[in-house]
Structure 1
Amino acid sequence: MILAGVLVVIGFGFVAARALNTSDEAAPPLDPPAPALGDVQLPPPPSQGLIPLQSPTPTPSRTSAAPTTKPPVRDQLRIAQGPVPGKVDLSAEGTSDWVHWGLDGTFSLERDRGGDFRILEGAPTAPRFRHSLSPAQFTWSGGDPVATAAGTRTGIRTCGQGNGFTLSAPAGTTPRILKLYLGSVSARGKLTARLSTGDSTGSTVLDNRGGTLRTAVVTVAYQAPRSGQIRLTWTTDSAYGKGCAGVTLEAATLS
């Protein structure tokens, strides 16, 4: 009887132990203990490549534009002397104005009807005479008071040292060419040109010791910085021998 009770107790203990083992195996595993604060390992941040920095766009420098003003025009005056051709068409050559002296008398003056009196003669000096000695023939159309001329050899002359003629024409920033058809008889003539806008001057000499007329065309090219005049004197610088020795003047053109 006692033996049976012992066996029951042992059997019960064996069943209880098996039950505990089975319960332990079925229970889920416990969470691992939280680490201490100092042991926390933070995950590394996601890897980022280097962000390229864009080069700053250079700002175009502002440079002030160079001034476009033109340098001021200075006085320009050049004189050249040459032979007179056999025939001179004054109206074709004088696109701005033209003048002829002596067709009908000592004080006759034939000029371009549309020339607006750009070429002007100063006060005449005595003595003054008409001549018809020019080796060149002067022609024109559109003249006043004589409309046309087919070929005249006339002009005017003066006698004695110091006597001559004075002329003027407009000057400005537009380049101009003034041509004078002149001569000398037994004399040395001197032509002097001066611009009223400055100190520019020029001169030329026509020397003739013979008793016949020697002619030349004097070309005066000029320009001025502002409106003004070109002024010319054609004077008997020296008179040779006896009689009417002096300078002559036939025509002038302006272009």
Structure 2
Amino acid sequence: MGNGVRIFAALEGDLEAVLACGWLLSMNPGVTVTAGPPDRGPGAGLCARGYMDPHILTQDHGNDALLLGAASQARRLAALLPGEGALDLSHDPPIGRFDLLVAGRPQPGKPTGWSADAQRFGAVLVAPRETPSHLGRSIAILADGPPRELKSFRIARRLFPAIASVHLILDERTDPAATDEWLRQLDCRCPVRLSMVRPTTDAQSAASLDAGGDLLVVERPARFWTSIGFEWRLAALLDRTAGAVLFAL
């Protein structure tokens, strides 16, 4: 992600968790966080069905009220969260390339109004259900397929340098040699717990909840998945995961 990290926090729905994630991320050296209205233009990247909808073309005109509310929330968070966080509030949707998009939870039955374009965002961090007091100390990683470099976890290591523990969740059909290679690929220099689960959303969701981490890192499967297959899988995990969720585009 280069020497610096640019992050855009999309202000929509419940602002507090999104702003808290941005505040916590901005405490890391070299990280700049801009919070502003979501991009409601047509997207060109991965979209989670029922969550990231690239076809909403209308632009709301309530940005001033949105930013006033965000400024009030940010002042309150500054008193609650330790450290020297900083948020730059913008009247404009994201312009240019960002390493990360921070987004709120989808409302049931209502798609969000921003799009996650892989040409403009390297990854998406979905805020947890409640305001976080910290992020990235205890990480669960959901992965399958053959061992490989973990793109999403590489981003997580850059964003969260104080990782204390990792819980790796693999397909139960993974053989011992491949499991050893997965662990070697992690190379996280912290305690690692390993779980083997059935490759179904129900089993993976249950294992993610059991891991108890504050961040779930979802690695896209190496085997062929159509976009819609990953979208449904991700949407189901978001419905059932209380903590923050990170995935690369």
Same fold (TM over 0.5): no
| Larger fraction in helix | 2
- TM-score normalised according to structure 2 size: 0.27
- TM-score normalised according to structure 1 size: 0.26
